[in-house]
């Protein structure tokens, strides 16, 4: 009987230790799950959202009007070619920081990197403010950026802006912003074009689309003229 009494506290200790261990394992698994979800929606270089993160943020805005700005950097490739990919990465990180600063005070806003040198900003807005957000982006990018020791560059961008009203198709909104950015690129870059709501949104096919600027580049390579 005495031996049994001595065993009971030990069993209780083992049980408590088991519960603590199980709680730690559960907590660790939860942390890993959260990290995996964050990694799946985050661009590893800039810390901005990636395409999946942008989709999730726009899902959260579903049913609300919002402003969307597409930023296509001008002449980014020469930075990589001249000073190396490390310089290009440093440039992108600083650009991402400046773009996030444009939306610091806006709840439920998102900055996403959707391509090598392309970013999207989206923010809920009951009134059309996309033009002002686009102008703020151009101003934010105006200051020189140090990409290597003693080397600074000034980056410009072709910016397309659109105010999306409630219920508008997301893919068509993105296509309109992309077309506006491409128009800014055709005008020489370092500028803003806002989508004209009177022209309606472009149709988007279900199959993957060849982007407008890629089509133009292909046309030039093939020597096709309109």
Catalytically annotated residues: 117
Distance in Å from the first CA to the final CA of the chain: 100
Distance CA 211, CA 225 (A): 18
Mark 92-122 as b/e (b = at least 16 C-beta within 10 Å): bebbbebbbebbeebeebbbbbbeebbbbbb
Can you tell me which residue has the tokens 């040198």? 117
State the alpha helices, DSSP H only, in the chain: 2-40, 51-60, 77-83, 85-102, 130-140, 170-186, 212-222
**Euclidean distance between CA atoms 192 and 131, whole angstroms:** 8
Angle between helices 85-102 and 130-140 (to 10 degrees): 140
Find, among 29, 31, 51, 30, the residue nearest to 40 by Cα. 51
- Spatial distance between the Cα atoms of 151 and 41, rounded to a whole number of angstroms: 32
Please classify residue 56 by burial: count the beta carbons closer than 10 Å to its beta carbon, then call 0-12 exposed, 13-18 middle and 19+ buried: middle
Name the phi and psi angles at 147, rounded to 5. -105, -15
């Amino acid at each position: 009987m005495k031996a049994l009494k001595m065993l009971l506290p030990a069993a209780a200790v083992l049980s408590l230790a088991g519960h603590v261990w199980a709680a730690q394992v559960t907590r660790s698994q939860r942390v890993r799950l959260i990290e995996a979800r964050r990694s799946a929606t985050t661009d590893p270089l800039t810390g901005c959202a990636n395409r999946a993160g942008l989709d999730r943020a726009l899902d959260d805005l579903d049913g609300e009007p919002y402003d969307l700005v597409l930023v296509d950097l001008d002449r980014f490739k020469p930075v990589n070619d001249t000073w190396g990919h490390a310089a290009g990465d440093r440039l992108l990180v600083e650009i991402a920081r400046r773009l996030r600063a444009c939306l610091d005070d806006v709840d439920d806003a998102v900055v996403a990197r959707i391509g090598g040198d392309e970013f999207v900003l989206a923010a809920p807005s009951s009134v059309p403010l996309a033009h002002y957000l686009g102008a703020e982006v151009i101003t934010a990018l105006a200051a020189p950026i140090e990409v290597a020791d003693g080397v600074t560059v000034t980056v410009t961008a072709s910016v397309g802006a659109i105010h999306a009203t409630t219920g508008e198709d997301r893919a068509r909104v993105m296509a309109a912003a992309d077309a506006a950015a491409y128009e800014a690129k055709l005008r020489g870059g370092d500028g803003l074009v806002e989508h004209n709501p009177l022209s309606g949104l472009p149709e988007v096919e279900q199959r993957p689309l060849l982007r407008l600027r890629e089509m133009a580049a292909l046309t030039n390579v093939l020597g096709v003229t309109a």
